[in-house]
Structure formats: C-alpha cells, structure tokens
Chains A and B, each alone.
Chain A
Amino acid sequence: MKDMSYQAVMGRKNEIMKASLGMDYDDFIQTPIAFDYEGMMAETGYSHEEVARIQRETKVGSTPLFELHNLTQAVRRISPPGKGARILLKDEAANASGSFKARRASISAYEAAKKGYEGLIAATSGNYGAAVASQAAQRGLKAIIIQEVFDSRGVGQPEIIEKGRKCEAYGAEVLKLSVGPELFYLLLRTLEETGFFNASLYTPFGIRGVESLGLEIAHQVRADYGRDPDAVVITHAGGGNLSGTARGLLAAGCDRTRIVACSVDLSGLHMASDRDFNRKSFTTGHTGFGIPFATWPDRVDVPRNAARALRYMDEYQLVTQGEVFYVTELLTKIEGLERGPAGNTSLTAAITLAKEMDQDQVVVVQETEYTGAGKHHNAQLSFARENGIEVRRGHPAESVPGESIVIPERLEQVRGRVQDLDRLRTSYLKNAAKIYHPDQWRDVDFRFLAEDLKVDEQWIIDHLADMSLVEN
C-alpha cells in the first residue's frame, strides 16, 4: 500500500503531475528558474480560432462590452478639465457559470475529454470551481472540486459557501476543507486515487483560454470606438486573468495598451491563518495572492506557472475592501447592473485611472461576475459585522484589513494606490536567487528574468549588484 502521509505524497508530486496533465514540463525547463515559456504555451496546440470554436460549444465568450455612461459622467465631474476617460465594462458574468473563469476551464475540459480522462479535478476557492464543474458537465466528464471553506469553528463566509453550492449544482463532488495550504496535498492525493485530469488554474490550457478575452476586447473596442483600448484594468490574484488577457491583447496587436493590475489590499492578514480566514471580506483578487504570485509565480500546483503577471503588468493599484463595496453599490444604482463584488475590484481602479486620462480615451474593465445569495456585498458586509469587523462610512484610508471596513462617503474618495513595480521586481529577483544562486545564472537565465520582469538584462544586472545577491 502506498504511503499517503503529507511528506510522501508531496514527494511524488512530479510523477502525479505528469500523469494528470498528459504533458511533460521537462521538455521546457532549462534551468531551476528559466524555461521556454512561449514553447510551453505553444504546446497546447490550439490556435485562437480553435479556442473560440471550443468556447462557443460550451457557452463561453462573446460577452457584451458596455459603456458605463453614468459612471463616466460622474467621474468627469470630479476630474480636471478635459479628463475623464470613457469607462467600458466587459460583462463576463454572461459566460456559462457566471464569470471569466469559464474561459480558463474550457480548454482544460476539452483537452481532458479528447485525451480520454474520466474527469477533472481543481483545487480552488474561487469562481473557477463552478467553471470547471459547468464545463465538465457539458463535456460529459466528472468533476471534483477541492475547496477551502470553513475555519476550525466550522464557519465559512457566505461568498465561499455560495461558490461551493454552485459547484454541487453542476453535479460536481465538492471536498470542503478547513483552512490550510494542504489543499495541494489533497489535490495530489485525489489525482492519484482517481487518475483524473488536473484542471489546474496555472497550466497553458488555462491561460490559453483567457487569451480570447483580450482578443474580444481588442475587436470590440476597435469596432465601437475606432481605436485600441488605452488601458485595460484587470483584477489580479494568481496572475492568470492578467497574463491571459494581456496575451490576447498583444496577439490582436494592441501593443500600446496599458495593462493595469488591481488587487484588494489585505495586508496584515495571514492567508494560512485559521483566525484571519473569516476576518477578510474578499476571498480572491486580493494581495494575499496578488503579491506572492507576482513576486514568485512558480509556487503553484504545476511545475511551471503559465500565469506570469510581471511579464505583462504596466501598473499595479491596490484598493480597499470598502472602496470595492462602494463601487459595487454604485454600479447597481447608477448603471442598473447588479454584479458580484469580487469582479468589481478592477472597476474601482478604473475610476482612479479614468480621472487622469483624456476624455477621448478608453479604459476597459475586463470582467464582472454573477451575484446572488452569499455572493453579494451586503452578505459579505453583514458577515463581517457579525464577526466583529467595524463597518462604517468614512475615508477609505482609515480602514485596517481584518479590523475595519470603511465605505467611502463620496466618489472622489475612491483612489487606487499605485505600487512601485520595481520593488515587486526586486522581490521576485530575491526569490529567484533563493531557488538558484546568481553565481550559477547563465545567459538563458538573464534573458528569461528580463522577459519575465518586463525589463532589460542590464536592469537585472544592476539590481543584483544593489541587492548584493551575488556575494557568497
């Protein structure tokens, strides 16, 4: 009988991965840090046309792009003269399962069916579980979703409970777990037990599926406004939404479009803490994922991550929970569009951006998500209050994650905080140096790092010297 202890299962990681993905990452890996990223992406073998056809089959894509006229007007009233770009919203809630994650799951499900797997497994607490379950249902595959749901008291946030319900509604088996990073251990164990396909968020199939979102935005903005989008704002957590969308935009030739990431600031809360678990009101799209994944993407459930945020990011804004809830309510009241709060994170940053951009420019918010019981800002705020979090109106700068949520009093108080990208890049470099000592880096490493950080090789050399990483 196989040893199923934590250490033993983690030790079998590579063989389990190979069997559950039907692809061998060794084909692309060059050094402990460098790998052939474009070669790996090409390995999926699907052209953009094929992706579009596969996605049409399972009710994914071709979502509407709306202009938010009233919000744009409201932003112009608080902007300097001539400023206040048009704000457009890509209504991704229209995908099967209610979020852009359907794009991410669609190609994995197609690939799994084609390769003859009996089912799919995904470890996720986000909308991705529902997307995998919905795509599996349509392809005649079984689905197992492994989800972090409750703390040691057995209590879970309404939003997470709803996401679990939705997976079950599509016929998936949902393994609901207490707080902890051992989700990955259970994923490996379940992959081994079932022989199912690993529908990881971070495979080339997942990212390939999101590229269609960038392509659609490019085509829709060009058709309606006769220009390329000036900026596209993307909620950032694991980096797949950003990488896929940016790759799609680039494939469409939008090489001057500014790629702006946005996360909810949850600094100070520990992501693996049983106590902190229910002291946050966002379960994804926050800094607890956004920062670690940007500064070291290869911390995931596949040997190399196809989602690489810093490779594409031009700007990174942080917003508070209260600001996102405010904007969610505003979208409902003045645009007549009720959508889930997590999907509106990037909308919050778009307000800050639009204020500084010219009126003839276009900023695109590239997703929405479905809403309903549990998955609603009122539900999340009510739960926060019951868990001892102070909820009040005021200036968002006064909020402290895990202690208070301050909902802005006025639109002009909504202001994303632009982060120093070089600090993130330096942090990435330090992580790379921990994995593989800089003394050993060769040309291929410098080239890879420069591409992965969107800088030139000289930047890498200069910053390595600054950090004294090359010593001993």
Chain B
Amino acid sequence: MEKISAGTWVEIEKIILAPEQRAPTLPADTRQVPYVMRVAGFLLNDAEIGETVRIKTLIGRELEGKLTSVNPSYAHSFGKIVPELLSIGLEEDL
C-alpha cells in the first residue's frame, strides 16, 4: 500500500462511543450504530490508509484516529436541476 507522507492534509475517523456506550434514550435505529467522529488535519507521521495515526488540526490540536482519506475535499453542489422550480415566479400573474 502507498505510504502517505507526514504533512499531508488527511481525514481520520474515530469511534467516540460504541453502540453499548451510547446515551440511554435513543431510537432503535440509532442505538444499533456507533457514534463516529471524522476530523481533518495534517498527518504527523508517514502512514498508510487504515492505520491509527495522529494529526494536527487547523488550530494546532493533536488528535488520534484511523486514517481514512487523503486530501479530503468538498464536492457538494447545487444538485441536479429540479425542473419543478423553474417556472415559479414566471407563471404568476404579477
């Protein structure tokens, strides 16, 4: 597997609470899954995906978790066109 160099912007994942450690009053579907955190930061040591690593966040705090992605990016958009919206404001007798 490819080594990822220290200093690379990465995302880690950490299980904060296993299902049995979670808050007592949860709906059944949520109760079955762990409480998971993801956070991005700069990798502190060379590592491979899936390894437990330490990162330094944007504010300089060091956190530990499983390395899940390299250069995590934002790909959200305006979505696929919703044609139902297009005629609003044009069809009114204004």
Partner-B contacts on A (CB < 8 A): 5-6, 70, 73-74, 77, 119, 142-144, 149-150, 152, 158, 161-162, 165, 168, 171-182, 185-186, 194, 270, 272-275, 325-326, 329-330, 332-334, 373-374, 376-383, 385-386, 391-393, 407, 410-411
Contacts known (A162-B76, A177-B16, A272-B27); A378 close to B81, Cβ less than 8 A:
yes
| Chain A contacts for B77, CB-based, 8 A | 158, 373-374, 379
| Chain B contacts for A180, CB-based, 8 A | 22-23, 26, 30, 35
CB <8 Å contact, A165 and B76: yes
| Chain B contacts for A119, CB-based, 8 A | 59
CB distance from B21 to the nearest CB of A (A): 6
| Chain B contacts for A273, CB-based, 8 A | 27, 29-30
The CA-CA distance from A373 to B22 in the complex, in Å, is: 34
CB nearest neighbor in B for A406: B84
| Chain A contacts for B35, CB-based, 8 A | 177-178, 180, 182
Residue in B17, B38, B84, B89 whose beta carbon sits within 8 Å of that of A391 in the complex = B84
Give residues of chain B (56-89) contacting chain A, Cβ–Cβ below 8 Å: 57-61, 74, 76-82, 84-85, 88-89
- The proximity string for B residues 12-40 relative to A, scoring 1 for CB distances below 8 Å and 0 otherwise, is 00001100011101110110011111111
Q: Is the interface of B mostly helix, strand, loop or mixed?
A: loop
The CA-CA distance from A181 to B78 in the complex, in Å, is: 29
| Chain B contacts for A165, CB-based, 8 A | 74, 76
CB <8 Å contact, B76 and A407: no
The CA-CA distance from A125 to B73 in the complex, in Å, is: 19
CB distance from A288 to the nearest CB of B (A): 13
| Chain A contacts for B90, CB-based, 8 A | 333
CB distance from A267 to the nearest CB of B (A): 15
Partner-A contacts on B (CB < 8 A): 16-17, 21-23, 25-27, 29-30, 33-41, 57-61, 74, 76-82, 84-85, 88-90, 92-94
CB <8 Å contact, B37 and A391: no
With A180-B26, A330-B92, A374-B76 already in contact, 4 other A-B pairs whose C-beta atoms are closer than 8 Å: A5-B21, A161-B74, A168-B40, A377-B85
The CA-CA distance from A149 to B72 in the complex, in Å, is: 15
CB nearest neighbor in A for B80: A382
Residue contacts A-B, CB under 8 angstroms, 25 given = A5-B21, A6-B21, A142-B60, A149-B38, A161-B76, A162-B74, A168-B40, A173-B57, A174-B39, A176-B38, A177-B37, A178-B36, A180-B22, A185-B17, A275-B29, A326-B88, A330-B92, A332-B89, A378-B81, A379-B76, A380-B79, A391-B84, A392-B84, A407-B85, A407-B88
CB <8 Å contact, A274 and B23: no
CB <8 Å contact, A186 and B16: yes
CB <8 Å contact, A176 and B94: no
The CA-CA distance from A270 to B77 in the complex, in Å, is: 27
| Chain B contacts for A326, CB-based, 8 A | 88
Residue in B26, B59, B84, B85 whose beta carbon sits within 8 Å of that of A171 in the complex = B59
| Chain A contacts for B61, CB-based, 8 A | 144, 173, 194
